[in-house]
Amino acid sequence: MRVLGVDPGMTRCGIGVVDARGRQVTIVAVDVAHTKPEIAPHQRLLMISNAIEEAIRLYRPEVVAIERVFAQENVRSVTGTAQVAGIAMLAAAKASLPLGMHTPSEVKAAVTGNGRAEKAQVQLMVQRILRLDAPPRPKDAADALAVAICHAWRGGATHPDRSQHGGAGMLPRVEGNDLTPAQRMWANAERLSRRHGAVEPK
């Protein structure tokens, strides 16, 4: 399965593509779409839209995965992030691709086993999972790859459109011979975070 992951942001939008074959995940491409605050908002959205659509055209993913947006203290920031998420959703729809959406805590739990992991820990684990010489930089690049890895590992290929809804029915399996130790760790961490209502804003 080839997954295009998007870490939405108005100034920096991470775009990462991975191939998942069973337990192995390999990097295909990673990029960050940059826009400047002095540019008109609709023009910034157009630039990001073009970058995402170009990535879809070049790498032909089978699914698009996006990090879900949560309210933050900075209303302007979260509004822009939500707008970019909408742009990514539209790009997936235009390409007739299934869509998966994952919370920040789900993504962190998937790659580190801890839904409250720090950014540096996510970067390090993405480096290890993808067998890279150094952590992907900037952090938006690592986050986009983490979103793609999360979608690949949580079984989104089978029912990708369900993952945007969340809920108990989407909790990952904790048992099975086909699960890696990291996947079992993530599944237990995700169930624990859901039990305590822990959803970490981005």
User: What are the pLDDT digits (tens) for 184-195?
Assistant: 665 666 565 555
Q: Is 161 annotated as a binding residue?
A: no
- Between 3.40.710.10, 3.90.1010.10, 3.30.420.10, 3.30.420.40, what CATH number should domain 2-154 receive? 3.30.420.10
Residue 109: other Cβ atoms inside 10 A: 30
170: left (phi over 0), alpha (psi -120 to 50) or beta: alpha
Residue 181: its pLDDT value, please?
Answer: 62
Would you state the pLDDT for residue 126? 96
Domain boundaries, the chain: 2-154
> Hey, which residues are catalytic here?
7, 67, 140
Q: What's the pTM value of the predicted model, to 2 decimals? A: 0.78
For every residue of the chain, DSSP letters joined together read -EEEEEE--SSEEEEEEEEEETTEEEEEEEEEEE--TTS-HHHHHHHHHHHHHHHHHHH--SEEEEEPP---S-HHHHHHHHHHHHHHHHHHHHTT--EEEE-HHHHHHHHHS-TT--HHHHHHHHHHHTT-SS--SSHHHHHHHHHHHHHHHTTTTTSGGGGGT-SGGGPPPS--TT--HHHHHHHHHHHHHHHTT-----
How far are the Cα atoms of 1, 13, 51, 130, 141 from residue 26, in angstroms, in the given order? 11, 21, 21, 5, 15
> Which pLDDT score is estimated for 132?
96
19 is in an annotated binding site: no
Q: Is 140 annotated as a binding residue?
A: yes
Spell out the per-residue pLDDT of the chain, length 202, in tens: 999 999 999 999 999 999 999 779 999 999 999 999 999 999 999 999 999 999 999 999 999 999 998 755 566 778 899 999 999 999 999 999 999 999 999 999 999 999 889 989 999 999 999 999 998 888 899 999 999 999 999 865 434 444 443 433 445 555 655 566 655 665 666 565 555 444 443 3
- What confidence score (pLDDT) does residue 177 get? 58
